[in-house]
């Protein structure tokens, strides 16, 4: 169904966005509505891992997909998740998937428990598909989804029993994701309906009388600290100024990096709707050296 090795344009993608505002609790499988609400796979597969690019781990995953499903297009979201950091992986997966076409299959592998009893799952939510370990990594994308369908991968039925003990990314997840992206197997045929056993590892934002408490989740390439505070949730309007407290330091908010003084430590709304801490022409991480998960307090002005 995919011509020319590139995903076709999903002309009917808008349909899946008509979420009915179901009040279903997250982390539980619903009746198979999400799958019906999800457009068919569009022939695009993304990869998000903590494998880095120093070794051929990512390369051989692509080889495996390309050998079995040559018509599937593969794009990297990132392979730079901090090794073993499910928090960071869950965060970036949730903030990134929406920039890809509806019907994309996202293969996400941050899997310190590989080879243990943790389940392997596929999730249909928000018009996208997700394949990976059930360790919290895929849970964040389901939190606000009106319809979620989870399938536990049936490795026997899929003919994938003989996988390695240490590299399910290559031997299981990307094989399944490739077949799904190529429409070789239907989502409902991946295994029985299930629920995610492990919830999102991202701590919730706490709402106090006059402020919100969140956490530093990750640091980006530029040394900006990215927090769990989502502008849409903590500010009445996107341009509202605020003050941010971290480790006893008080920061003013600016609109963009160029509005800060050179070397000034500031807070701003980053491009993924997250409250971030930055130093103009410098690294907030080097300046503050926060511990992972360090708490921050936001006071709207």
| Binding of a copy of itself by 6 (CB under 8 A) | yes
**Shortest approach of a copy of itself to residue 254 CB, angstroms?**
9
| Binding of a copy of itself by 44 (CB under 8 A) | yes
Closer to a copy of itself by Cβ: residue 239 or 247: 239
**Shortest approach of a copy of itself to residue 216 CB, angstroms?**
15
Q: Is 264 left (phi over 0), alpha (psi -120 to 50) or beta?
A: beta
- Residues 6+ positions from 131 with CB-CB distance below 8 Å: 105, 106, 107, 108, 121, 122, 123, 153, 173, 176, 177, 180
**Shortest approach of a copy of itself to residue 151 CB, angstroms?**
23
Q: How far apart are the C-alpha atoms of 48 and 74, rounded to whole Å?
A: 11
Looking at residues 101 to 120 of the shown chain, list those that interact with a copy of itself (rule: CB under 8 A): 101, 104, 112-116
Dihedral of CA atoms 108, 55, 154, 144 in degrees, nearest 10, equals -10
- Which residue of 34, 77, 86, 181 would you call a contact of a copy of itself, by CB under 8 A? 77
Q: How far apart are the C-alpha atoms of 288 and 264, rounded to whole Å?
A: 12
| Binding of a copy of itself by 170 (CB under 8 A) | yes
| Three-point CA angle 230, 102, 143, nearest 5° | 35
Q: How far apart are the C-alpha atoms of 114 and 53, rounded to whole Å?
A: 19
- Which residue of 281, 286, 292, 293 would you call a contact of a copy of itself, by CB under 8 A? 281
**Shortest approach of a copy of itself to residue 228 CB, angstroms?**
16
- CA-atom Rg of the chain in angstroms: 20
Looking at residues 208 to 237 of the shown chain, list those that interact with a copy of itself (rule: CB under 8 A): 218, 220-222
Q: By three-state DSSP, how is residue 229 classified? A: strand
Closer to a copy of itself by Cβ: residue 144 or 255: 255
- Which residue of 8, 195, 230, 243 would you call a contact of a copy of itself, by CB under 8 A? 8
Phi, psi angles (nearest 5°) of residue 48: -135, 120
- Which residue of 12, 17, 22, 166 would you call a contact of a copy of itself, by CB under 8 A? 166
Q: Pull the structure tokens for residue 214.
A: 């969140």
Interface with a copy of itself (CB under 8 A):
3-9, 44, 46, 48, 51-60, 62-64, 66-67, 70-71, 73, 75-80, 83-84, 92, 95-96, 99-101, 104, 112-116, 164-167, 170-171, 218, 220-222, 255-259, 268-271, 281
């Amino acid at each position: 169904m995919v011509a020319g090795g590139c995903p076709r344009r999903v002309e009917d993608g808008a349909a899946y966005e008509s979420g009915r505002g179901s009040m279903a609790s997250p982390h539980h499988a619903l009746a198979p509505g999400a799958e019906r609400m999800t457009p068919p796979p569009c022939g695009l597969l993304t990869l998000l891992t903590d494998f880095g690019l120093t070794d051929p781990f990512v390369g051989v995953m692509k080889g495996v997909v390309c050998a079995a499903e040559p018509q599937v297009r593969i794009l990297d979201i990132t392979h730079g998740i901090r090794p073993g950091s499910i928090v960071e992986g869950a965060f970036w997966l949730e903030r990134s998937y929406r920039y890809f076409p509806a019907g994309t299959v996202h293969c996400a592998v941050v899997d310190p428990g590989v080879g243990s009893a943790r389940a392997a799952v596929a999730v249909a939510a928000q018009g996208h598909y997700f394949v990976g370990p059930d360790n919290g990594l895929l849970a964040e994308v389901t939190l606000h989804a009106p319809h979620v369908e989870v399938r536990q991968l049936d490795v026997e039925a899929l003919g994938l029993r003989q996988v390695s003990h240490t590299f399910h990314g290559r031997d299981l997840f990307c094989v399944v994701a490739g077949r799904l992206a190529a429409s070789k197997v239907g989502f409902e045929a991946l295994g029985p309906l299930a629920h995610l056993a492990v919830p999102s590892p991202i701590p919730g934002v706490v709402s106090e009388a006059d402020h919100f408490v969140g956490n530093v989740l990750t640091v980006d390439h530029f040394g900006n600290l990215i927090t769990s505070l989502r502008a849409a949730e903590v500010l009445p309007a996107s341009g509202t100024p605020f003050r941010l407290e971290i480790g006893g330091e008080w920061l003013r908010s600016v609109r963009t990096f160029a509005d800060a003084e050179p070397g000034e430590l500031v807070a701003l709304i980053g491009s993924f709707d997250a409250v971030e801490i930055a130093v103009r022409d410098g690294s907030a991480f080097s300046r503050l050296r926060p511990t992972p998960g360090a708490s921050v307090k936001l006071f709207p002005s």
